[in-house]
Structure 1
Amino acid sequence: MMQLQQFSDTAALNHDFACRLVNILQQAIAERGVAYLVVSGGKTPQALFSALSTTDLAWDKVTVLLADDRWLDDSQPDSNERLVKATLLQHNAKAARFISLYADTASAFDGVVQVLPRIATLPTFDAVILGMGEDGHTASLFPCSAQIQHGLAADAPAVLATEPTTAPYQRISLSLPRLLNSRHIFLHLVGSNKLSVLDKAMAGTDVFAMPIRAFLQHPVATVTAMYTA
């Protein structure tokens, strides 16, 4: 199920979004002593990350990880891990624990055996922030990849390697069931083109053609789409 929340501009969206996330993480810490936040890379969340990084929160009790990453070490410009460390894990948020999705192996497929144990035993996430590509992919669950059925399967492992044919690099991604295992799921969208993609996703039912549908149309999970043009 999807709930769409529209904002007048990116500043309003980021302010509201940051406040919501802080409240969610504070509640988690109060109730369970720790909090788990899953984020996505790309240009869209950078201002949000910067805003979050200075918030007054017990960041030493927060674990941050990515929904997916390119199979690159964090010295590479296209690494999502590099972006998160440079924008989110700064200032107050520098105290957070970060779990990497990278391992020093020849390929993402070789690296899964090292990354999977880091993720498989984690409890329910408190908040997951997803992005969405114009092809309807989310995380690194690409419709063009040979691994898409595996990643969307109900019994998929927590982590899998993918190799999209329409985007560079091998990827490492959390699977559909691992991402759905969260108390709050958000979809962060900026730009009128993304609203068109969202409308298209809601109009059809083939999850393999547009993997974001597996989240938006899930019979139990609620996804809150945070959108501004």
Structure 2
Amino acid sequence: MLDMDARLAEQGVTLKRSADALQQADTLAAAVVERLRAAINERGQARLALSGGRSPVPFLQVLARHVLEWERVHVTLVDERWVPEQDPQSNAGLLRRHLASVFERVHWLPLYLGGSPQADAAQASEALTDWLPLDVVVLGMGADGHTASLFPGAAGLMEWLSRDCRHGCVATQAPDGSPRLTMTGRALHSARYRLLAISGEAKLQTLKAAIEAQQPGAWPIAAFVDAPMDIYYCPEDGRPNDVTD
């Protein structure tokens, strides 16, 4: 039986291991900036979709310290809790705080607009039509194998995971019933480069199970583990560097 690295290699994916969360943040940020800089050089602008969640703080802080033509970078989120930016759970608020030194320089596309989850998703989908393909997407993964706000067993999940999904963003719900907004496969599969950041042995085993089973309905992350992607892993328990919950 092939080991995990070999399985990933067959799919054109590299697993990059870091010693700790700070090294992971450094290498992840460097990879993102390299791709953004290349996009700017080739097309005059770059489009970046980031994950929020519990604590992507080290990665965001390192990212903000990089010298880049941030005025040419368009930034949005792969998913968002349907709460205003001032709410402690807001992913937009998280980005604004920890990318503070560059946030006012970028072109920002919020997902939460305050209408309704469905209305905001429709507006985000319309706006994303001018963004695709994305240049860089940074994904995270929950312990249940979800990514963005694409949760196992959700009604409509298989359509949302498809690159042929009609919408770039949809309204969904977390397992606790809280409303979310999430990019779909239409947007996420468009990315010229995807990165997945995970930490801790438990999540590594979840990812391994997802890759072996190839059942995106049970492990949504499985829909996105293919080229062009690199996976950034460190053995710590997920704090402070996880990018999704």
> CA shift at 1:167, angstroms?
3.2
SS at match of 2:85: coil
Aligned to 2:88: 77
TM-score, normalisation: structure 1:
0.92
8 Å CA contact 2:164–2:185 kept in 1: the answer is no
Cα distance in 2 for partners of 1:46, 1:37 equals 17
> CA shift at 1:92, angstroms?
3.5
Cα distance in 1 for partners of 2:77, 2:163 equals 20
Look up the equivalent residue of 2:212 and give its one-letter code: A
Aligned to 1:19: 30
Distance change >3 Å, CA 205–CA 104, structure 1 → 2? same
Q: Which residue, 106, 110, 120 being the options, matches 1:100? A: 110
> CA shift at 1:93, angstroms?
4.5
Q: Which residue, 185, 190, 197 being the options, matches 1:181? A: 190
Aligned to 1:149: 158
Aligned to 1:46: 57
Look up the equivalent residue of 1:63 and give its one-letter code: H
Aligned to 1:225: 231
SS at match of 1:95: coil
Aligned to 2:128: 119
Cα distance in 2 for partners of 1:112, 1:17 equals 28
Matched, 1:6 2:17: yes
Q: Which residue, 29, 39, 48 being the options, matches 1:28? A: 39
8 Å CA contact 1:162–1:170 kept in 2: the answer is yes
> CA shift at 1:210, angstroms?
0.6
8 Å CA contact 2:163–2:187 kept in 1: the answer is no
Deviations 1:115-161 (A, max 9, x none): 22111221321110000011111001111321312311342111111
In structure 1, the gaps of 5 or more residues are none
Look up the equivalent residue of 2:98 and give its one-letter code: T
Moved more, 128-137 or 20-29: 20-29
8 Å CA contact 1:3–1:222 kept in 2: the answer is no
Distance change >3 Å, CA 62–CA 94, structure 1 → 2? same
Cα distance in 2 for partners of 1:167, 1:136 equals 16
Deviations 1:82-136 (A, max 9, x none): 1111112x1144311110001222x312322222211122132111000001111
Matched, 1:161 2:158: no
8 Å CA contact 1:62–1:97 kept in 2: the answer is yes
8 Å CA contact 1:44–1:189 kept in 2: the answer is no
> CA shift at 1:16, angstroms?
1.4
8 Å CA contact 1:69–1:80 kept in 2: the answer is yes
Q: How many residues align?
A: 223
TM-score, normalisation: structure 2:
0.86
Deviations 1:57-101 (A, max 9, x none): 11011011100101111011111111111112x114431111000
8 Å CA contact 1:6–1:228 kept in 2: the answer is yes
SS at match of 1:149: helix
Cα distance in 1 for partners of 2:33, 2:113 equals 30
> CA shift at 1:168, angstroms?
4.4
8 Å CA contact 1:59–1:95 kept in 2: the answer is yes
Cα distance in 2 for partners of 1:122, 1:92 equals 20
> CA shift at 1:43, angstroms?
3.0
